[in-house]
Amino acid sequence: MSHRPQHRRAQPPYRVTLGCLAALLVGTGCSPTPKPPSDAGEHRLVREYFRDNNAAARKGPAAQRKFLRRTQHPDFRGKSCDLGAMTVELDPAMSTLRPDSEFSPDGVSPRGRSWVVAVEVTVRRHGVIIGKQVGSQHIVFLNGQAHGFTPCPV
């Protein structure tokens, strides 16, 4: 018994390309029209908070102290730490940003909407990197402003 090879008619290139594109869109869950984040204003404030923190850190410890004092959550103004000659740069992974209604440092829930985001932390002393790690940072939105919590060296 001999098998004869079956011949398939070649598909026009545009049909193959469209088919692959459609499969890719379905497979990756892309929608044809991008939607803005549901909390676009808060996402913008988070990006600005980290941008301003890092700009202050690049200027040195005094500039960062001023930034951290200004942005410290009002319920925790008396609970900040002195970083001395250190600066802390925070690189957020914005795709991890999410609300965190359970956040309560020292058992006290801060007023406002609490969010948490994964960050890469770079600590410098006198301009020299002394540590890098991945952690999380909480940001609380209160009265249209993003507030943070001064990191404390251990």
The answer as to whether 17 is a domain residue is no
Could you tell me the CATH number of the domain that includes residue 127?
A: 3.10.450
- Whole-number pLDDT of residue 75: 87
The answer as to whether 69 is a domain residue is yes
What average pLDDT does the chain have? 80
The answer as to whether 108 is a domain residue is yes
Range of the domain at 105: 40-147
The answer as to whether 118 is a domain residue is yes
| Mean pLDDT computed over 54-67 | 96
User: What's the total number of domains in the chain?
Assistant: 1
The answer as to whether 130 is a domain residue is yes
| Mean pLDDT computed over 35-41 | 59
| Mean pLDDT computed over 47-66 | 96
**What letters, b where the CB count within 10 A reaches 16 and e where it falls short, cover 83-108?**
beebbbbbebeeeebeebeebeeeee
- Whole-number pLDDT of residue 30: 41
The answer as to whether 90 is a domain residue is yes
